[in-house]
């Protein structure tokens, strides 16, 4: 089972959390090898959690957004025994202009859990600059389109 199977499969039990600011509880996206300080974001960052089942796995997407700095990250992981195996970081930020992913194509069972990024492959290799144009109202749709799930609760 790989990330392709997760993305291409039907999503069930979809739940979209509400936007929040500040500290992200470790229980939202548990990563055993990540230091606690990496869960702290300043007040300009909003975050939201999406959960769903896909291809026999419980999956989570942690979305972090800073509109003023034009930063969006959407980390996709699968829950394995209470720890996350990260498959992809879909992101846009000024240091690497353009939308891109840090992704692994390895089978899920061969990826170590608890690390913030397991993918060493960047896709596309050369990001093409595109306008950011994302706010809290539209961020879920951008992420849902990439990971192929239905964006629900967008206007709530």
Domain boundaries, the chain: 3-147
Q: What is the average pLDDT score of the chain?
A: 88
pLDDT given at position 156: 40
For the chain, what percentages of helix, strand and coil (3-state, to nearest 5) are there? Answer: 15, 40, 45
Per residue in 19-75, pLDDT tens? 999 888 999 999 998 876 667 788 899 999 999 999 999 999 999 999 999 999 999
């Amino acid at each position: 089972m790989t990330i392709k199977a997760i993305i291409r499969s039907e999503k069930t039990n979809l739940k979209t959390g509400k936007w929040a600011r500040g500290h992200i509880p470790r229980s939202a996206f548990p990563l055993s090898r990540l230091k606690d300080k990496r869960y702290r974001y300043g007040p300009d960052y909003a975050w939201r959690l999406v959960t769903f089942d896909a291809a026999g796995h419980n999956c989570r997407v942690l979305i972090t957004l800073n509109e003023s700095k034009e930063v969006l990250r959407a980390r996709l992981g699968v829950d394995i025994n209470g720890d996350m195996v990260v498959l992809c970081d879909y992101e846009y930020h000024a240091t690497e202009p353009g939308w891109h992913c840090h992704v692994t194509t390895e089978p899920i069972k061969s990826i170590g859990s608890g690390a913030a990024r397991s993918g060493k492959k960047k896709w596309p290799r050369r990001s093409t600059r595109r306008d950011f144009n994302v706010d809290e109202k539209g961020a879920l749709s951008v992420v849902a389109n990439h990971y192929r799930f239905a964006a629900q609760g967008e206007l709530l």
